[in-house]
């Protein structure tokens, strides 16, 4: 028998009759083949969106922030909404790879690579918004603390906005390191399988000359474990700090201590939804249904229903506090959210984030691929509205009725948002074509405990008396 | 950095590999290394490697990050250019916690990854000898060093008896060098 054992009561994580060689073949062969027609269509459509985004941003930089719809009352509009939305999406990858690694959830192995890639691309998209929101973007480097001829005038280290600069750049760097250190052994596999010289050369460089000695792997595991330990508080800190951008201010509707956990839960919620959107399509197109199984989708749907409920509780807590605090400005902010001219955004948020995810309490729906896909998009729409509600509907009716205002975006703002979709999907299409979409080495590691064909052999062991089983196991250790 | 001769044995099952490792170590032959497609738990112990100390590097780099952040921010806000923010104290430690934490994580992660690359001798442009192209696919490849004290055929036969699927004798560079994986190295043509 094998050295490891897992009960067959647990659902297999790798379906079908797989061997180590078959796993390499299934996951690496799409890299070696020419991409299909759908790939070209998707890729060039994304490039076109990206080009439109570049045009919209260039327009904004040339003419100034005035081309956006934001005004004196509503100073943060789609730009910061989209920033928080993308950064929230960027939370699933590291959560899957780091927190689930620490919790020894082996189902993460099927989805972590794509989720981490998605994280990195989402953070890249998110970063664009605060940078271009600065207006005079050519002075953007002023946020960095470097000795300068303006005093030296340093950035304000006590400001939540500067914390954000540090949090997001650290998060991007650490996620990238985590992702790439996992990719190195898989690049070595592509290199060793390669038949063409160019592929051998490029993946040879990408694999850093990895050969996979026992000591290499020992250090690799240690690196993954410590990076996971570092990333776990990091991923929680990033959205906490994003929420500080609001919570440390004195705007009614923003100034609440509930924001950090509420934002983190929302981030995980939207991040998992985006992972579902991407993986449901990826597994279909690359024929990876054996590795990203219905069980994987169900596990993520469980996370979605949990975090969706946390978010719902947070919404209700906010409402309760606006009444219980007996603060008329707080009450006013929530009254205008629910019943003001932006009532539709509040109710869209409530429906998409709180009501509809509750359907995932039904196992049938959790395991339904089409429903999961639709739901993942609904959740992401809902989470976009959440950020819009928090930002715009806390600002548009401020203290003096004379300065009340309404905000709607102009085309350069919409174009900027579409452009980040272009950036995101351009990167994702390149990733899906040239990178191993699933962590091959990690799947091989769990094959003999969680593979369907190996699980079948467990029946014999399960029927053994406990004493006999323990004695047999003791010999192996 | 030396070109040596190796007897190479390929196994396709961990359950065969582990007894083979024990036999090779017991026999007194010089076990060069074992190349595996994924992390085989317990193999480091079986080969007699001690635990990795990589996490200590991570801790030290993390401390550097903490002290850089606290030192730098407190120097700026209390010494170099103190600013009065609404009468709050210049030494505002609680407000510095977020950046201090981020820099701790950043330094620890970057420093540890660089230490990882250094210890494993991996870098873009580095090349190492690949004993079998399937060592990253489904083979567990064991290389035993051949020198003047052992008989080549004895070693190969011994490895076959341990359950190896494939065996070969190869002349190879035992360390790393700057090179390209699409090029054949001169030493690779020596033994053929």
* For A224, nearest residue in chain B (alpha carbons): B113
Any domain includes A464: no
Any domain includes A80: yes
Q: Which of B97, B120, B143 is the last residue of a domain?
A: B120
- N-to-C CA span, chain B: 21
Any domain includes A253: yes
Would an 8 Å CB–CB cutoff place A468 in contact with chain B? no
Residues 6+ apart with CB under 8 A from A330: A252, A253, A321, A322
Going across the sheet that includes B3-11, the strands are B30-35, B140-146, B3-11, B166-173
Above 70 in pLDDT, residue A20? yes
Q: What pLDDT is attached to residue A183?
A: 94
Residue B40 and residue B81 in one domain: no
Q: How confident is the model at residue A459 (pLDDT cuts 50, 70, 90)?
A: confident
Q: What pLDDT is attached to residue A1?
A: 40
Picking from A226, A442, A472 by the largest number of B CB atoms within 10 A of its own CB, the best residue to mutate is A226
CA-to-CA distance for A437 and A186, rounded, in angstroms? 10
3-state secondary structure chain A: CCCCCCCCCCCCCECCCCCHHHHHHHHHHHHHCCCCHHHHHHHHHHHHHHHHHHHHHHHHHHHCHHHCCCCCCCCCCHHHHHHHHHHHHCCHHHHHHHHHHHCCCCCHHHHHHHHHHHHHHHHHHHHHHHHHHCCCHHHHHHHCCCCCCCCCCCCCCCCHHHHHHHHHHHHHHHHHHHHHHHHHHHHHHHHHHCCCHHHHHHHHHHCCCCCCEHHHHHHHHHHHHHHHHHHHHHHHHHHHHHHHHHHCCCCCCCCCCCHHHHHHHHHHHHHHHHHHHHHHHHHHHCCCCCCCCHHHHHHHHHHHHHHHHHHHHHHHHHHHHHHHCCCHHHHHHHHHHHHCCCHHHHHHHHHHHHHHHHHHHCHHHHCCHHHHHHHHHHHHHHHHHHHHHHHHHHHCCCCCHHHCCCCCCCHHHHHHHHHHHHHHHHHHHHHHHHCCCCCHHHHHHHHHHHEHHHHCCHHHHHCCCHHHHHHHHHHHC
Q: Is the dihedral of CA A406, A412, A415, A419 positive or negative?
A: negative
Most confident of A8-17, A88-97, A328-337, A413-422: A413-422
Q: How confident is the model at residue A149 (pLDDT cuts 50, 70, 90)?
A: confident
Q: Is the dihedral of CA B23, B29, B33, B34 positive or negative?
A: negative
- Burial state string for B145-159 with b = 16 or more CB within 10 A and e = fewer than 16: bbeeebeeeebbebb
Q: What pLDDT is attached to residue B11?
A: 92
* For A207, nearest residue in chain B (alpha carbons): B124
Above 90 in pLDDT, residue B183? no
Q: Which of B120, B139, B158 is the last residue of a domain?
A: B120
Above 60 in pLDDT, residue A2? no
Contact (CB, 8 A) for A455 and A1: no
Q: What pLDDT is attached to residue B190?
A: 64
Q: How confident is the model at residue B110 (pLDDT cuts 50, 70, 90)?
A: very high
CB contact under 8 A, A221 and B39: yes
In chain A, residues 402-461 whose CB comes closer than 8 Å to chain B: 440-442, 444-445, 448
Across all residues in chain A, what is the average pLDDT?
90
Q: How many CA atoms lie within 13 A of A213 on its CB side?
A: 20
- CB nearest A193 (choices: B77, B109, B137): B137
CA-to-CA distance for A230 and A170, rounded, in angstroms? 11
Any domain includes A472: no
- Burial state string for A42-77 with b = 16 or more CB within 10 A and e = fewer than 16: bbeebeebbebbeebbeebbeeebeebbbeebbebb
Q: Tell me the shortest Cα–Cα distance from B96 to chain A, in angstroms.
A: 6
Note the residue count of chain A. Answer: 477
Residue B157 and residue B178 in one domain: yes
CA-to-CA distance for B134 and B58, rounded, in angstroms? 33
Contact (CB, 8 A) for B54 and B115: yes
- Give the residue numbers spanning the domain of A319: 20-143+153-450
Domain holding B7: CATH number?
3.30.70
Q: What percent of chain B has pLDDT over 70?
A: 97
Q: In this structure, are strands B166-173 and B30-35 parallel, antiparallel, or unpaired?
A: unpaired
Residue B131 and residue B45 in one domain: yes
Q: What pLDDT is attached to residue A474?
A: 67
Name the residue among A378, A392, A450, A403 with its Cα closest to residue A82. Answer: A392
* For A203, nearest residue in chain B (alpha carbons): B181
Q: How many CA atoms lie within 13 A of A416 on its CB side?
A: 30
CA-to-CA distance for A392 and A389, rounded, in angstroms? 6
Residues of A in contact with B54 (CB under 8 A): 219, 222-223, 226
Contact (CB, 8 A) for A416 and A60: yes
Q: What percent of chain A has pLDDT over 90?
A: 65
More confident residue, A400 or A310: A310
Q: Tell me the shortest Cα–Cα distance from B151 to chain A, in angstroms.
A: 25
The reply to whether ipTM tops 0.95 is no
Residue B175 and residue B136 in one domain: yes
CB contact under 8 A, A445 and B38: yes
**Per-residue pLDDT tens over the stretch B27-78:** 888 899 999 999 988 888 888 888 888 999 999 999 999 999 999 999 999 9
Q: What pLDDT is attached to residue B1?
A: 67
Residue B45 and residue B60 in one domain: no
Above 90 in pLDDT, residue A237? yes
Q: Tell me the shortest Cα–Cα distance from B10 to chain A, in angstroms.
A: 14
**Per-residue pLDDT tens over the stretch A203-228:** 999 999 999 999 999 999 999 999 99
Above 60 in pLDDT, residue A477? no
Residue B93 and residue B130 in one domain: no
The tokens for A304 are 């979605």
Domains: count for chain B: 2
CB contact under 8 A, A174 and B106: yes
Would an 8 Å CB–CB cutoff place A185 in contact with chain B? yes
- CB nearest B96 (choices: A157, A160, A167): A157
**Per-residue pLDDT tens over the stretch A22-67:** 999 999 998 998 888 889 999 999 999 999 999 999 999 999 999 9
- CB nearest A219 (choices: B33, B88, B116): B116
Residue B89 and residue B129 in one domain: no
The residue-averaged pLDDT of A336-344 equals: 92
Any domain includes A76: yes
Q: Tell me the shortest Cα–Cα distance from A125 to chain B, in angstroms.
A: 21
CB contact under 8 A, A157 and B73: yes
Above 50 in pLDDT, residue A72? yes
> What does pTM read for this prediction?
0.92
Domains: count for chain A: 1
CA-to-CA distance for A78 and A84, rounded, in angstroms? 10
CB contact under 8 A, B98 and A167: yes
Q: What pLDDT is attached to residue A297?
A: 92
The tokens for A107 are 């189902």
Q: What pLDDT is attached to residue A105?
A: 84
Contact (CB, 8 A) for A175 and A194: no
* For B58, nearest residue in chain A (alpha carbons): A226
**Per-residue pLDDT tens over the stretch A111-132:** 889 999 999 999 999 999 999 9
Q: What pLDDT is attached to residue A234?
A: 93
Residue B40 and residue B68 in one domain: no
**Which DSSP string do the residues of chain B spell out, in sequence order?**
--EEEEEEEEES-HHHHHHHHHHHHHHT-EEEEEE-SS--TTHHHHTTPPPP-HHHHHHHHHHHHHHHHHHHHHIIIIII----STT--S--HHHHHHHHHHHHHHHHHHHHHHHHHHHHT--TTEEE--S-GGGGTT-EEEEEEE-TTS-HHHHHHHHHHTT-SEEEEEEEESSEEE--TTS--GGGGTT-
Would an 8 Å CB–CB cutoff place A198 in contact with chain B? yes
Would an 8 Å CB–CB cutoff place B102 in contact with chain A? yes
> What are the backbone angles phi and psi of residue B16, rounded to the nearest 5°?
-90, -35
Q: Tell me the shortest Cα–Cα distance from A273 to chain B, in angstroms.
A: 27
**Per-residue pLDDT tens over the stretch B143-170:** 999 888 888 888 899 899 888 888 999 8
Any domain includes A4: no
Above 70 in pLDDT, residue A346? yes
Cα dihedral B61, B66, B67, B69, rounded to 10, equals 120
Q: Which of B87, B120, B153 is the last residue of a domain?
A: B120
Above 70 in pLDDT, residue A400? yes
Q: What pLDDT is attached to residue A273?
A: 93
Which stretch of A62-71, A411-420, B83-92 has the lowest confidence by average pLDDT? B83-92
Q: What pLDDT is attached to residue A56?
A: 95
The residue-averaged pLDDT of A252-278 equals: 91
- Give the residue numbers spanning the domain of B157: 3-49+125-189
CA-to-CA distance for B177 and B157, rounded, in angstroms? 31
Any domain includes A1: no
Across all residues in chain B, what is the average pLDDT?
89
Residues 6+ apart with CB under 8 A from B107: B61, B62, B64, B65, B68
Q: What pLDDT is attached to residue A344?
A: 94
Domain holding A268: CATH number?
1.20.1630.10
């Amino acid at each position: 028998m094998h050295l490891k054992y897992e009960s067959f009561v647990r659902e297999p994580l790798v379906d079908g009759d797989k061997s180590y060689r078959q796993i390499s073949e299934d996951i690496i062969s799409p890299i070696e083949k020419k991409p299909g027609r759908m790939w070209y269509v998707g890729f060039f459509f994304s490039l076109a969106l990206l080009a439109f985004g570049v045009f919209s941003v260039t327009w904004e930089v040339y003419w100034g922030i005035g081309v956006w719809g934001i005004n004196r009352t509503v100073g943060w509009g789609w730009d910061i909404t989209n920033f928080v939305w993308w950064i929230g999406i960027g939370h699933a990858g590291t959560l899957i790879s780091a927190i689930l690694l620490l919790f020894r959830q082996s189902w993460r192995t099927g989805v972590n690579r794509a989720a981490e890639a998605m994280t990195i691309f989402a953070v890249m998209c998110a970063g664009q918004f605060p940078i271009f929101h600065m207006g005079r973007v050519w002075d953007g480097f002023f946020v960095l603390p470097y000795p300068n001829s303006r005093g030296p005038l340093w950035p304000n280290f006590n400001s939540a906005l500067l914390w954000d600069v540090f949090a997001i750049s650290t998060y991007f760097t650490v996620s990238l390191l985590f992702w790439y250190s996992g990719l190195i052994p898989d690049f070595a596999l592509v290199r060793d399988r390669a038949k063409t010289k160019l592929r051998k050369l490029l993946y040879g460089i990408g694999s850093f000359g990895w050969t996979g000695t026992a000591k290499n792997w020992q250090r690799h595991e240690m690196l993954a474990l410590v990076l996971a330990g570092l990333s776990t508080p990091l991923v929680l800190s990033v959205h906490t700090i994003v929420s500080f951008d609001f919570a440390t201010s004195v705007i009614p509707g923003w100034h609440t201590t509930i924001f950090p956990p509420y934002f983190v839960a929302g981030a995980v919620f939207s991040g998992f939804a985006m992972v579902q959107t991407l993986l449901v399509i990826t597994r279909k197109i690359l024929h990876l249904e054996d590795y990203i199984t219905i069980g994987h989708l169900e596990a993520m749907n469980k996370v979605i229903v949990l975090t969706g409920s946390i978010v719902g509780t947070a919404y209700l807590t906010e409402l309760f506090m606006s009444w219980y605090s007996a603060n008329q400005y707080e009450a006013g902010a929530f009254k205008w959210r629910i019943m003001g001219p932006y009532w539709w955004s509040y109710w869209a948020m409530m429906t998409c984030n709180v009501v509809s995810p509750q359907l995932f309490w039904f196992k049938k729906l959790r395991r339904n691929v089409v429903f999961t896909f639709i739901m993942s998009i609904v959740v992401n729409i809902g989470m976009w509205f959440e950020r819009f509600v928090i930002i715009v509907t806390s600002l548009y009716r401020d203290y003096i009725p004379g300065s009340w205002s309404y905000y709607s975006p102009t085309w350069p703002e919409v174009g900027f948002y579409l452009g980040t979709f272009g950036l995101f999907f351009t990167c994702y299409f390149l990733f899906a074509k040239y990178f191993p979409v699933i962590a091959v080495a990690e799947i091989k590691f769990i094959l003999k405990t969680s593979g369907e064909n190996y699980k079948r052999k467990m029946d014999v062991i399960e029927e053994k008396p406990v004493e006999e089983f323990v004695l047999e196991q003791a010999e192996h250790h | 950095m030396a070109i040596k001769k190796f007897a190479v044995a390929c196994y396709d099952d961990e359950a065969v590999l582990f007894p083979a490792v024990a036999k090779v170590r017991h026999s007194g032959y010089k076990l060069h290394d074992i190349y595996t497609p994924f992390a085989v738990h317990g193999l480091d112990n079986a080969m007699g490697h001690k635990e990795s100390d990589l996490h200590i590097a991570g801790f030290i780099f993390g401390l550097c990050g903490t002290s850089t952040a606290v030192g730098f921010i407190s120097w700026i806000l209390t010494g170099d250019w103190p600013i009065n923010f609404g009468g709050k104290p210049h030494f505002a430690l609680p407000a510095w916690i977020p950046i201090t934490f981020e820099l701790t994580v950043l330094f620890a992660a970057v420093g540890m990854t660089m230490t990882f690359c250094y210890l494993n001798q991996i870098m873009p442009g580095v090349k190492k000898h690949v004993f079998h192209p399937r060592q990253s696919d489904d083979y567990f490849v064991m290389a035993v060093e051949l020198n003047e004290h052992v008989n080549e055929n004895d070693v190969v036969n011994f490895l076959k008896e341990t359950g190896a699927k494939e065996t070969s004798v190869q002349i190879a560079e035992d360390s790393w060098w700057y090179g390209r994986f699409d090029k054949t190295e001169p030493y690779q043509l020596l033994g053929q």
